[in-house]
Amino acid sequence: MPTVKNYLSLIKFSHTIFALPFAMIGFVLGIKTVDEFNKSLLIGKLQLNNFWSFFAIKLLLVLVCMVSARSAAMAFNRYLDRNFDSKNPRTAIREIPSGIIAPNSALRFVIVNCLIFITATFFINDICLYLSPIALLVILFYSYTKRFTALCHLVLGIGLSLAPIGAYLAITGAFSFIPLLFSFAVIFWVSGFDIIYALQDDEFDKAYKLHSIPAALGKKKALKVSELLHFFCTICVIWAGWLGSFSWLYWLGVCIFIAMLVYQHSIVKPNDLSKVNIAFMTANGIASVVFAVFVIADLLILA
Protein backbone atom coordinates (compact mmCIF):
# COMPACT_ATOMS: atom_id res chain seq x y z
CA MET A 1 0.00 0.00 0.00
CA PRO A 2 1.43 3.43 -0.95
CA THR A 3 2.66 5.60 1.91
CA VAL A 4 2.51 9.36 2.38
CA LYS A 5 6.18 9.41 1.42
CA ASN A 6 5.34 7.71 -1.89
CA TYR A 7 2.71 10.34 -2.72
CA LEU A 8 5.08 13.15 -1.77
CA SER A 9 7.62 11.62 -4.14
CA LEU A 10 4.96 11.23 -6.85
CA ILE A 11 4.22 14.97 -6.80
CA LYS A 12 7.84 16.00 -6.22
CA PHE A 13 6.76 17.98 -3.16
CA SER A 14 10.21 19.56 -2.84
CA HIS A 15 9.57 21.38 -6.14
CA THR A 16 6.96 23.50 -4.33
CA ILE A 17 9.95 25.68 -3.54
CA PHE A 18 9.71 27.18 -7.04
CA ALA A 19 6.28 28.84 -6.94
CA LEU A 20 5.58 29.14 -3.19
CA PRO A 21 8.03 32.02 -2.55
CA PHE A 22 6.39 34.03 -5.35
CA ALA A 23 2.97 33.28 -3.85
CA MET A 24 4.23 34.75 -0.58
CA ILE A 25 5.38 37.87 -2.44
CA GLY A 26 1.87 38.25 -3.88
CA PHE A 27 0.34 37.64 -0.45
CA VAL A 28 2.44 40.29 1.30
CA LEU A 29 1.87 42.73 -1.56
CA GLY A 30 -1.84 42.21 -0.99
CA ILE A 31 -1.52 42.90 2.72
CA LYS A 32 0.41 46.11 2.06
CA THR A 33 -2.19 47.20 -0.49
CA VAL A 34 -5.07 46.67 1.92
CA ASP A 35 -3.11 48.17 4.80
CA GLU A 36 -2.36 51.32 2.88
CA PHE A 37 -5.77 51.65 1.25
CA ASN A 38 -8.44 50.68 3.75
CA LYS A 39 -8.36 47.77 6.16
CA SER A 40 -12.12 47.91 6.52
CA LEU A 41 -12.54 46.82 2.89
CA LEU A 42 -12.02 43.21 3.90
CA ILE A 43 -12.59 42.97 7.65
CA GLY A 44 -15.48 45.38 8.08
CA LYS A 45 -16.05 46.06 11.77
CA LEU A 46 -13.45 43.66 13.07
CA GLN A 47 -11.27 45.11 15.81
CA LEU A 48 -7.68 45.97 14.89
CA ASN A 49 -6.34 43.18 17.11
CA ASN A 50 -8.21 40.72 14.87
CA PHE A 51 -6.65 42.16 11.73
CA TRP A 52 -3.64 39.87 11.69
CA SER A 53 -5.72 36.87 12.75
CA PHE A 54 -7.82 37.47 9.65
CA PHE A 55 -4.71 37.39 7.45
CA ALA A 56 -3.35 34.31 9.23
CA ILE A 57 -6.49 32.42 8.18
CA LYS A 58 -6.09 33.77 4.65
CA LEU A 59 -2.47 32.61 4.60
CA LEU A 60 -3.47 29.11 5.67
CA LEU A 61 -6.09 28.96 2.90
CA VAL A 62 -3.59 30.21 0.31
CA LEU A 63 -1.12 27.52 1.37
CA VAL A 64 -3.84 24.88 1.09
CA CYS A 65 -4.61 26.14 -2.42
CA MET A 66 -0.96 26.10 -3.41
CA VAL A 67 -0.29 22.59 -2.16
CA SER A 68 -3.55 21.05 -3.43
CA ALA A 69 -3.39 22.65 -6.89
CA ARG A 70 0.22 21.68 -7.41
CA SER A 71 -0.39 18.16 -6.06
CA ALA A 72 -3.30 17.70 -8.48
CA ALA A 73 -1.25 18.98 -11.42
CA MET A 74 1.81 16.85 -10.73
CA ALA A 75 -0.15 13.69 -9.99
CA PHE A 76 -2.23 14.16 -13.14
CA ASN A 77 0.93 14.64 -15.18
CA ARG A 78 2.38 11.42 -13.78
CA TYR A 79 -0.92 9.61 -14.41
CA LEU A 80 -1.18 10.79 -18.00
CA ASP A 81 2.49 10.15 -18.82
CA ARG A 82 2.71 6.73 -17.16
CA ASN A 83 3.13 4.80 -20.42
CA PHE A 84 5.85 7.14 -21.70
CA ASP A 85 7.56 7.13 -18.30
CA SER A 86 7.73 3.34 -18.31
CA LYS A 87 9.68 3.41 -21.60
CA ASN A 88 12.12 6.15 -20.59
CA PRO A 89 15.09 4.83 -18.55
CA ARG A 90 15.27 8.13 -16.67
CA THR A 91 11.64 8.00 -15.53
CA ALA A 92 10.90 4.27 -15.34
CA ILE A 93 11.60 4.31 -11.58
CA ARG A 94 8.75 6.77 -10.93
CA GLU A 95 5.96 5.60 -8.65
CA ILE A 96 3.32 4.69 -11.25
CA PRO A 97 5.46 2.85 -13.86
CA SER A 98 7.34 1.01 -11.11
CA GLY A 99 4.06 -0.17 -9.56
CA ILE A 100 4.40 1.62 -6.22
CA ILE A 101 1.22 3.64 -6.84
CA ALA A 102 -1.61 2.30 -9.00
CA PRO A 103 -2.86 4.57 -11.81
CA ASN A 104 -6.39 4.66 -10.37
CA SER A 105 -5.02 5.63 -6.96
CA ALA A 106 -3.12 8.50 -8.55
CA LEU A 107 -6.26 9.64 -10.36
CA ARG A 108 -8.28 9.57 -7.13
CA PHE A 109 -5.52 11.62 -5.53
CA VAL A 110 -5.91 14.19 -8.33
CA ILE A 111 -9.68 14.43 -7.84
CA VAL A 112 -9.39 14.81 -4.05
CA ASN A 113 -6.85 17.60 -4.40
CA CYS A 114 -9.00 19.41 -6.97
CA LEU A 115 -11.92 19.30 -4.53
CA ILE A 116 -9.72 20.57 -1.69
CA PHE A 117 -8.53 23.42 -3.90
CA ILE A 118 -12.05 24.53 -4.88
CA THR A 119 -13.24 24.25 -1.26
CA ALA A 120 -10.38 26.43 -0.04
CA THR A 121 -11.16 29.11 -2.65
CA PHE A 122 -14.79 29.11 -1.43
CA PHE A 123 -13.56 30.27 1.98
CA ILE A 124 -11.19 32.89 0.51
CA ASN A 125 -13.45 35.12 -1.60
CA ASP A 126 -15.81 35.05 -4.56
CA ILE A 127 -13.32 35.98 -7.27
CA CYS A 128 -10.96 33.16 -6.26
CA LEU A 129 -13.87 30.72 -6.24
CA TYR A 130 -15.09 31.83 -9.67
CA LEU A 131 -11.58 31.60 -11.13
CA SER A 132 -10.74 28.24 -9.51
CA PRO A 133 -12.07 26.09 -12.41
CA ILE A 134 -10.00 28.15 -14.86
CA ALA A 135 -6.90 27.72 -12.71
CA LEU A 136 -7.44 23.96 -12.57
CA LEU A 137 -8.03 23.82 -16.32
CA VAL A 138 -4.69 25.56 -16.96
CA ILE A 139 -2.59 23.44 -14.62
CA LEU A 140 -4.17 20.14 -15.69
CA PHE A 141 -4.15 21.01 -19.38
CA TYR A 142 -0.36 21.34 -19.28
CA SER A 143 -0.08 17.55 -19.07
CA TYR A 144 -1.53 17.22 -22.59
CA THR A 145 0.56 19.91 -24.28
CA LYS A 146 3.71 17.89 -24.86
CA ARG A 147 1.68 15.74 -27.20
CA PHE A 148 1.06 18.54 -29.70
CA THR A 149 3.21 21.64 -29.10
CA ALA A 150 6.79 22.55 -28.27
CA LEU A 151 5.38 25.52 -26.35
CA CYS A 152 4.49 23.17 -23.48
CA HIS A 153 7.18 24.88 -21.36
CA LEU A 154 5.27 28.17 -21.55
CA VAL A 155 2.04 26.46 -20.46
CA LEU A 156 3.87 25.11 -17.41
CA GLY A 157 5.11 28.62 -16.73
CA ILE A 158 1.57 30.00 -16.97
CA GLY A 159 0.38 27.37 -14.51
CA LEU A 160 2.97 28.31 -11.89
CA SER A 161 2.50 32.01 -12.59
CA LEU A 162 -0.96 31.82 -11.03
CA ALA A 163 0.73 31.70 -7.60
CA PRO A 164 1.62 35.40 -7.07
CA ILE A 165 -1.51 36.89 -8.65
CA GLY A 166 -3.70 34.26 -6.98
CA ALA A 167 -2.29 35.05 -3.53
CA TYR A 168 -2.75 38.77 -4.21
CA LEU A 169 -6.37 38.19 -5.24
CA ALA A 170 -6.94 36.19 -2.07
CA ILE A 171 -6.25 39.34 -0.04
CA THR A 172 -7.46 42.19 -2.21
CA GLY A 173 -10.09 40.59 -4.45
CA ALA A 174 -8.79 42.76 -7.31
CA PHE A 175 -6.10 42.62 -10.00
CA SER A 176 -3.08 44.95 -9.98
CA PHE A 177 -0.20 45.46 -12.38
CA ILE A 178 2.77 44.82 -10.07
CA PRO A 179 1.71 41.31 -8.96
CA LEU A 180 0.89 40.60 -12.61
CA LEU A 181 4.48 41.54 -13.45
CA PHE A 182 5.67 38.99 -10.91
CA SER A 183 3.39 36.45 -12.58
CA PHE A 184 4.95 37.22 -15.96
CA ALA A 185 8.39 36.89 -14.37
CA VAL A 186 7.39 33.40 -13.21
CA ILE A 187 6.16 32.47 -16.70
CA PHE A 188 9.50 33.34 -18.30
CA TRP A 189 11.58 31.97 -15.42
CA VAL A 190 9.83 28.60 -15.22
CA SER A 191 9.63 28.20 -19.00
CA GLY A 192 13.36 28.87 -19.25
CA PHE A 193 14.47 26.37 -16.64
CA ASP A 194 11.97 23.75 -17.84
CA ILE A 195 13.66 23.89 -21.24
CA ILE A 196 16.97 23.19 -19.51
CA TYR A 197 15.41 20.22 -17.72
CA ALA A 198 13.91 18.91 -20.98
CA LEU A 199 17.37 18.72 -22.56
CA GLN A 200 17.74 15.32 -20.89
CA ASP A 201 14.90 13.82 -22.93
CA ASP A 202 15.26 15.38 -26.37
CA GLU A 203 16.17 12.09 -28.08
CA PHE A 204 13.41 10.19 -26.30
CA ASP A 205 10.87 12.91 -27.17
CA LYS A 206 11.80 12.76 -30.85
CA ALA A 207 11.62 8.97 -30.88
CA TYR A 208 8.13 8.93 -29.37
CA LYS A 209 6.85 12.02 -31.20
CA LEU A 210 6.61 14.16 -28.07
CA HIS A 211 7.10 17.91 -28.36
CA SER A 212 9.57 20.18 -26.60
CA ILE A 213 11.89 23.05 -27.49
CA PRO A 214 15.01 20.82 -27.29
CA ALA A 215 13.35 18.18 -29.50
CA ALA A 216 12.28 20.82 -32.01
CA LEU A 217 15.40 23.00 -32.14
CA GLY A 218 18.23 20.92 -30.74
CA LYS A 219 20.15 21.45 -27.51
CA LYS A 220 22.19 24.50 -28.56
CA LYS A 221 19.26 26.55 -29.88
CA ALA A 222 17.07 25.42 -27.00
CA LEU A 223 19.56 26.87 -24.53
CA LYS A 224 19.47 30.15 -26.46
CA VAL A 225 15.68 30.21 -26.14
CA SER A 226 16.03 29.54 -22.42
CA GLU A 227 18.47 32.43 -22.09
CA LEU A 228 16.03 34.72 -23.93
CA LEU A 229 13.17 33.74 -21.63
CA HIS A 230 15.32 34.40 -18.58
CA PHE A 231 16.22 37.79 -20.03
CA PHE A 232 12.48 38.59 -20.24
CA CYS A 233 12.13 37.39 -16.64
CA THR A 234 14.86 39.82 -15.61
CA ILE A 235 13.04 42.67 -17.37
CA CYS A 236 9.86 41.85 -15.44
CA VAL A 237 11.46 41.88 -11.98
CA ILE A 238 13.30 45.12 -12.78
CA TRP A 239 10.09 46.69 -14.10
CA ALA A 240 8.18 45.61 -10.99
CA GLY A 241 10.87 47.08 -8.75
CA TRP A 242 10.82 50.38 -10.62
CA LEU A 243 7.02 50.68 -10.57
CA GLY A 244 6.80 49.65 -6.93
CA SER A 245 9.50 52.11 -5.81
CA PHE A 246 11.21 49.36 -3.85
CA SER A 247 14.31 50.07 -1.77
CA TRP A 248 17.81 48.60 -1.73
CA LEU A 249 16.71 45.27 -0.23
CA TYR A 250 14.59 44.50 -3.26
CA TRP A 251 17.40 45.38 -5.65
CA LEU A 252 19.85 43.22 -3.72
CA GLY A 253 17.39 40.35 -4.10
CA VAL A 254 17.15 41.09 -7.83
CA CYS A 255 20.94 40.94 -8.18
CA ILE A 256 21.09 37.54 -6.45
CA PHE A 257 18.17 36.24 -8.53
CA ILE A 258 19.84 37.31 -11.78
CA ALA A 259 23.16 35.87 -10.62
CA MET A 260 21.51 32.47 -10.13
CA LEU A 261 20.01 32.66 -13.63
CA VAL A 262 23.42 33.39 -15.09
CA TYR A 263 24.99 30.63 -13.01
CA GLN A 264 22.63 27.91 -14.26
CA HIS A 265 23.34 28.84 -17.87
CA SER A 266 27.07 28.79 -17.19
CA ILE A 267 27.07 25.19 -15.95
CA VAL A 268 24.80 23.56 -18.57
CA LYS A 269 26.28 23.04 -22.02
CA PRO A 270 24.82 21.32 -25.10
CA ASN A 271 27.49 18.62 -24.88
CA ASP A 272 27.52 18.37 -21.08
CA LEU A 273 24.23 17.83 -19.22
CA SER A 274 25.83 16.44 -16.06
CA LYS A 275 24.81 19.51 -14.05
CA VAL A 276 21.24 19.88 -15.25
CA ASN A 277 19.82 18.87 -11.88
CA ILE A 278 22.02 21.39 -10.09
CA ALA A 279 20.81 24.10 -12.46
CA PHE A 280 17.18 22.95 -12.26
CA MET A 281 16.75 22.34 -8.53
CA THR A 282 19.57 24.01 -6.61
CA ALA A 283 20.05 27.22 -8.58
CA ASN A 284 16.35 27.90 -9.07
CA GLY A 285 15.44 26.91 -5.52
CA ILE A 286 17.99 29.36 -4.14
CA ALA A 287 16.90 32.02 -6.62
CA SER A 288 13.20 31.90 -5.66
CA VAL A 289 13.67 31.65 -1.89
CA VAL A 290 16.35 34.32 -1.57
CA PHE A 291 14.52 36.70 -3.91
CA ALA A 292 11.28 36.29 -1.95
CA VAL A 293 13.04 36.85 1.38
CA PHE A 294 14.50 40.15 0.19
CA VAL A 295 11.27 41.34 -1.46
CA ILE A 296 9.16 40.51 1.58
CA ALA A 297 11.72 42.09 3.90
CA ASP A 298 11.59 45.22 1.76
CA LEU A 299 7.79 45.31 1.92
CA LEU A 300 7.55 44.69 5.67
CA ILE A 301 10.58 46.54 6.99
CA LEU A 302 11.50 49.38 4.65
CA ALA A 303 8.36 50.09 2.62
**How much is the average pLDDT of 220-232?**
98
Higher per-residue confidence, 243 vs 301 = 243
Is the model's pTM score more than 0.85?
Answer: yes
* 201 secondary structure, DSSP code: G
**pLDDT tops 60 at residue 303:** no
Cβ-based neighbours of 191, under 8 Å, separated by 6 or more: 153, 154, 156, 157, 226, 229
Task: Give the separation between CA 289 and CA 15, rounded to whole angstroms.
Answer: 12
**pLDDT tops 90 at residue 6:** no
pLDDT at 269: 94
pLDDT at 17: 82
Task: Give the separation between CA 167 and CA 27, rounded to whole angstroms.
Answer: 5
SS3 state of residue 245: coil
Residue 29 sits in which domain range? 4-302
pLDDT at 49: 55
For a pLDDT cut of 90, what percent of the chain falls above it?
Answer: 81
pLDDT confidence tier of residue 45, bands split at 50, 70 and 90: very low
CB 61 within 8 A of CB 170: yes
pLDDT at 66: 95
pLDDT at 132: 97
**pLDDT tops 90 at residue 11:** no
pLDDT tens-place string over residues 47-90: 555 666 778 899 999 999 999 999 999 999 999 999 999 999 99
**Mean pLDDT over the full length of the chain:** 92
**pLDDT tops 60 at residue 43:** no
**pLDDT tops 70 at residue 159:** yes
pLDDT at 9: 84
**pLDDT tops 60 at residue 46:** no
Q: Which residues pair with 272 in a beta bridge?
A: 269
pLDDT at 50: 65
Q: Into how many domains does the chain fold?
A: 1
What CATH number does residue 20 fall under? 1.10.357.140
Helices (H), 88-218: 103-124, 126-145, 152-172, 177-198, 202-207, 213-217
Phi, psi for residue 189 in degrees, rounded to 5: -65, -50
pLDDT at 35: 60
pLDDT tens-place string over residues 110-131: 999 999 999 999 999 999 999 9
CB 95 within 8 A of CB 101: yes
pLDDT at 2: 75
**How much is the average pLDDT of 254-273?**
95
SS3 state of residue 3: coil
Least confident of 43-57, 139-153, 262-276: 43-57
